[in-house]
A and B are shown apart, each in its own frame.
Chain A
Amino acid sequence: MILIPCPHCGERNVSEFQYVGEALTRPNPDGVDPEQWRSYLYLRSNPAGPTVESWFHRAGCRRYLKVERDTVTNEVTSVTLPGRGGPQP
């Protein structure tokens, strides 16, 4: 069972959460060229190892969270609130 320690709700089963995606910085839609926009939409780093991503605590506090996880072991090493300037969901 994979447990995610939510800063609001404590340790909860992964099935309560929804995976949102790799933590990416969205380019400003005004004044970005189509290629940059499509890179943001489609290209993914998809690493085998530690990564930073956004999750949503669907069946809990319903807040977006910044999760650091190892994609090979599924070990969750850090869960924090996405701060201003940090990766946004």
Chain B
Amino acid sequence: MKPVKNGARRMGRYSAFDLARHGVARNGWPRAWHNHDLRRAYDVVVVGGGVHGLATAYYLAARHGISNVAVLEKGYIGSGGSGRNTAIIRSNYLTPEGVRFYDRSLKLYESLSTELNFNVMFSQRGHLTLAHNDSSLRTMRWRAEVNKLEGIDSEVISTAQVKELVPYLDTSSEARYPVLGALYHPPGGIIRHDAVVWGYARAADSRGVHIHQNTEVLGIDVAGGAVRGVATSGGKVATPVVVNATAGWATLISDMAGVAMPITTSPLQAAVTEPVRPFLGPVIVSGSLHVYLSQTDRGELVFGSAVDPFPSYSMRGSLDFIESLAGHVLELMPSLAKMRVLRQWAGLCDMTPDYSPIMGQTPVEGFLVDVGWGTYGFKAGPVAGEAMAQLIAEGKTPELIAGFSLDRFMRGELLGEKGAAAVGH
């Protein structure tokens, strides 16, 4: 991929020289993106200032020269799932459609720091999904074969190899759920999620995209089966194209356009400990124990689990979650017993029946969706943004996302990814 040219309106380019100069002069950094007045009309309105909305806007401007674009965000950018996720990036999914799609995203992430001139701190430390019983080992072999066919670095490894990679893991046969092996995915890892959001925002802004924070979409104007505009807390805006990129709130935005969705909204919780010295390399996921963990570059341990057991738009954490999480983490790594949890939080996830996203056109002309990101959508931000931008620019659904269309549910052609996405996001 070609590195992008320095846009004329960019507020300075970050560089090592720049860093040194600011370090010495201490005159502060310029703002990374502008505030604008809301125009009366845009060529494209993107609802939702998460990684998906911002990436879509960025690729529209950077790849297709469409820069009369507004991103409308009711809070601050990254206030949804994009600022709350546990930042796991991987492409070892189960369906060929899923694997191809997520792998394109992983490739985009690998060069994203250069593309955006923003360090997104992608740390490819490897990703391990543990098998505790024969049936999960069987699914992993299946996944590894699908992965290899698609050219993904992914293999089933033995308990001894797991122990070598993660010495602190309890791999003894006395464990309640002994580790029988694992699916190992070396290119997987974690990323600095805020940096991805800010990097896309800054790069889109420098190409002329308007990012409007504190601007809530209240209604969508549809006439004659086509989108005409949106009503916002800052006034009315005319536009022929609206992209719904609101994840947990996706149903509410689609309702405004009269498009029914196969989505339910559930909170997903996570927790983080105090920082300790680096001791954990790969990301570790245990489906049977409903838990995953990783160590950040700062040394904190980040824990997560499956979604809360009932739908809700509330982002309150629960004691149930932290209690069962702690118990299960200790079954994996008893030596963590003295670690202190610093905080826990929740974000909203837009769950679909098949654990696959929904991208593309809807029965309403000009109303596009990029939703259904559930617990796994952060890693897909770049590829979804790229594909949605291409769809808008060329008016044709790109091959890579054709299988993820909304009408697959009415055709009964679901893309079951639950086996690869329910716990390991």
Contact = CB atoms under 8 A, between A and B. Distances in A.
A34 to B, nearest CB: 7
Given A15-B320, A43-B260, A44-B251, A34 B412 contact: yes
Contacts of A19: 309-311
B309 A48 contact: no
A35 interface: yes
A72 B314 contact: yes
A46 B263 contact: yes
A10 to B, nearest CB: 20
A16 to B, nearest CB: 11
A1 B319 contact: yes
B410 interface: yes
Interface in B308-365: 309-314, 316, 319-320, 353
Contact of B261 (A46, A72, A74): A46
B278 interface: no
Interface residues of B, number: 22
Contacts of A34: 412
A35 B261 CA distance: 14
Contact of A44 (B262, B320, B410): B262
Contact of B312 (A18, A38, A42, A71): A71
A14 B353 CA distance: 23
A60 to B, nearest CB: 16
A28 interface: no
Interface residues of B, dominant DSSP: loop
A23 to B, nearest CB: 13
Most B CB contacts (10 A, CB to CB) among A34, A35, A44, A74 go to A44
A48 B313 contact: yes
A47 B261 CA distance: 11
Contacts of B252: 48
Contact of A42 (B262, B316, B320): B262
Interface residues of A, number: 21
B410 A71 contact: no
Contact of B263 (A39, A41, A44, A72): A44
Interface string A39-61: 10111111110000000000000
Given A1-B319, A41-B353, A46 B311 contact: yes
Most A CB contacts (10 A, CB to CB) among B249, B310, B319, B410 go to B310
B265 A46 contact: yes
B179 to A, nearest CB: 28
Interface string A59-88: 000000000000111100000000000000
B409 interface: yes
A2 to B, nearest CB: 8
A38 B313 contact: no
B264 interface: yes
B49 to A, nearest CB: 19
Most B CB contacts (10 A, CB to CB) among A18, A35, A42, A71 go to A42
B320 A43 contact: no
A64 to B, nearest CB: 15
Given A15-B320, A38-B409, A38-B410, A44 B261 contact: yes
A75 to B, nearest CB: 10
A41 B414 CA distance: 12
B150 to A, nearest CB: 27
Contacts of A43: 260-262, 409
B135 to A, nearest CB: 23
A61 B265 CA distance: 28
Interface in B90-134: none
A1 B265 CA distance: 20
User: 10 nearest interchain CB pairs?
Assistant: A19-B310, A42-B262, A46-B251, A42-B409, A48-B313, A43-B260, A72-B313, A46-B264, A71-B313, A74-B314
Interface of A: 1, 14-15, 18-19, 34-35, 38-39, 41-48, 71-74
Given A19-B311, A38-B410, A46-B263, 6 more contacts: A19-B309, A46-B251, A47-B251, A48-B313, A72-B313, A74-B316
12 contacts: A1-B319, A15-B320, A42-B353, A43-B261, A44-B261, A44-B263, A46-B263, A46-B311, A72-B312, A73-B314, A74-B312, A74-B316
